[in-house]
């Protein structure tokens, strides 16, 4: 039986849902390595964080460009341009932005800068752990929701309407979704993680559970200089989840 885990960055570190067969658990860890430490054997781990990174050449990864196009109109702004790998070593936004412009030809957004500590942590883990390289792949929750619904979600995930429409969609593919999300928010919401972090981790776990049906943007991802795929994983249609 393979393990499926969905992970999203949060205030306290990383929020995750883990599926062991029909059993679903959740929690918050300070580091990704703590989540990986409890993984024995085959696993599919989807994380909402850039993995394959550019070090030269084009301005943006193809997966980001295609994800933004797939989420237009309405949700395209949820896809931040991934920084170049060299920018991960910067100690300030100004330095990182200058490195990114020199390397890829564009300055770094403040949103992307805010993600750099977690991108660096993930990149270092993938460089040091064979299990991480074999198990962890990149996803994006809005791409996942689009894949299940057939189009971008009408409302922002940070609105009440957006939360309800995402929760109701998740209930179609996992009857325990409402209970699990509510329980996780009761324990961790507001202090460790936001409600949207919890929902995003849940959709990632649901997609990881159907690993054999995963699709990617682009369909044939390129590898970065470390051999990591520059891809965003998702499922196409609710049946892709039900057939897992």
3-state helix, strand, coil in the chain (%, to 5): 50, 15, 35
Q: Count CA within 13 A, CB hemisphere, residue 37.
A: 6
Report if residue 154 sits inside a domain. yes
Report if residue 36 sits inside a domain. yes
Report if residue 243 sits inside a domain. no
Report if residue 46 sits inside a domain. yes
Q: What is the pLDDT of residues 176-216, one digit of tens each?
A: 999 999 999 999 998 999 999 999 999 999 999 999 999 99
Q: Which domain holds residue 143?
A: 1-238
Mean pLDDT in the chain? Answer: 95
Q: What is the pTM of this model?
A: 0.96
Residue 163, pLDDT score:
97
Q: What is the pLDDT of residues 205-237, one digit of tens each?
A: 999 999 999 999 999 999 999 999 999 999 998
Looking at the DSSP bridge assignments, the partners of residue 138 are: 47
CA end-to-end span of the chain? 12
Among candidate residues 236, 215, 207, 232, the one with its CA nearest the CA of residue 62: 232
Report if residue 140 sits inside a domain. yes
Report if residue 244 sits inside a domain. no
Extract the runs of DSSP E, i.e. beta strands, from 56-200: 136-138
Q: What is the pLDDT of residues 31-76, one digit of tens each?
A: 999 999 999 889 999 999 999 999 998 889 999 999 999 999 889 9
Query: What's the number of domains the chain is made of?
Result: 1
Extract the runs of DSSP E, i.e. beta strands, from the chain: 3-10, 13-20, 23-29, 43-47, 136-138, 215-217, 232-234
């Amino acid at each position: 039986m393979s393990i499926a885990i969905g992970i999203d960055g949060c205030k306290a570190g990383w929020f995750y849902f883990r599926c062991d067969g029909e059993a679903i658990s959740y929690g918050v860890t300070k580091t990704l390595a703590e989540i990986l430490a409890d993984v024995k054997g085959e696993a599919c781990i989807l994380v909402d964080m850039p993995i394959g990174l550019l070090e030269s050449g084009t301005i943006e990864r193809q997966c980001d460009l295609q994800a933004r196009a797939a989420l237009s109109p309405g949700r395209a702004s949820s896809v931040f341009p991934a920084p170049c790998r060299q920018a991960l070593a910067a100690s300030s936004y100004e330095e990182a932005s200058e490195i990114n412009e020199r390397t890829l030809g564009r300055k770094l957004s403040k949103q992307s800068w805010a993600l750099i500590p977690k991108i660096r942590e993930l990149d270092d883990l993938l460089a040091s752990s064979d299990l991480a390289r074999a198990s962890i792949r990149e996803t994006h929750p809005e791409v996942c929701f689009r894949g299940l619904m057939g189009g971008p979600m009408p409302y922002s995930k940070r609105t009440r309407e957006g939360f309800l429409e995402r929760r109701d969609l998740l209930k179609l593919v996992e009857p325990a979704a409402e209970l699990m999300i509510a329980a996780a928010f009761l324990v961790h919401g507001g202090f460790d993680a936001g409600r949207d972090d919890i929902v995003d981790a849940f959709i990632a776990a649901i997609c990881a559970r159907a690993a054999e049906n995963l699709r990617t943007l682009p369909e044939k991802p390129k590898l970065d200089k470390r051999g990591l795929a520059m891809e965003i994983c998702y499922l196409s249609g609710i049946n892709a989840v039900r057939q897992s």
